[in-house]
Amino acid sequence: MRKLLISGLMAAFALPAAADRFEDVTIEHNEVADNIYMLTGAGGNMLMSSGDDGVFLVDDQYTQVAERIAEKIQELSGEEVHYILNTHFHGDHVGSNMWFANNQSSTIFAHDHVRERLSNDDSFSETGLPAITFDSAITFHFNNDTIYVFHLSNGHTDGDSAVWFKNANVLHPGDLFFNKRFPFIDLKSGGDVDGYIANVEQLLNRITDDTVIIPGHGPLANKAD
């Protein structure tokens, strides 16, 4: 009985803390190239591109901050989100998929394995699943830039994609790079230590000293970082 009482009290105190987790989250922005922004809030860093073709968003954090993300994007661009690219399936990168799909008719893209894993998650709504998936790569011609999205297998997970804006020379590698933090490798979801190192080496070979890097987590970076 005493153990049950203690457990109950712990749960009661834990609930408000969980509920308040997102209460004070503010979506901040940093323009890293012409009309390309790094957005931060709760969860993985986002990249936003705006222009004549609309808004292209890389990752979208947790569902609890979806409306705040949309408000920030509206403030910066006056537009809704046209395309969303998920770098992998973790909740802090895909959590707002449902909100944007339902409220702004955003089209969501991701690697095949991202859709497979989210499809097997009973807590994830079908409306938030990537509508278009790819095996190895996909290229967008959007907002006067060429956007290369390429799969890097078995690193952080088995469905990681990096996103490179060629003309702007901006890279979002998803969680294949944690700046100033120790990386997390999701071994239960196809992640692999050797694969992670090999993927980072591939990214280093693709970029230049001038490339602006929006890491999956941590502050804005460059090749030296």
State the pTM of this model: 0.91
pLDDT, residue 20, reads: 78
137's enclosing H/E stretch is strand 137-142
CATH for 27-213?
3.60.15.10
Residue/partner pairs of 138-145 with CB below 8 Å, 24 or more apart: 138/109, 140/56, 140/83, 142/49, 142/51, 142/53, 142/54, 142/56, 142/83, 143/35, 143/49, 143/50, 143/51, 143/52, 143/53, 143/54, 143/56, 144/51, 144/52, 145/49
* Degrees to nearest 5, angle at CA 18 with 15 and 21: 150
pLDDT, residue 25, reads: 96
Domain ranges, ordered by start, for the chain: 27-213
pLDDT tens, 192-206?
A: 999 999 999 999 999
Whole-angstrom Cα distance, residue 81 to residue 57?
Answer: 7
Counted residue by residue, the chain has a size of 225
Q: Where are the beta strands (DSSP E) in 75-118?
A: 81-85, 107-111
Lookup result for tokens 């996103």 = 163
pLDDT, residue 1, reads: 44
pLDDT, residue 12, reads: 40
Residue-averaged pLDDT of the chain: 93
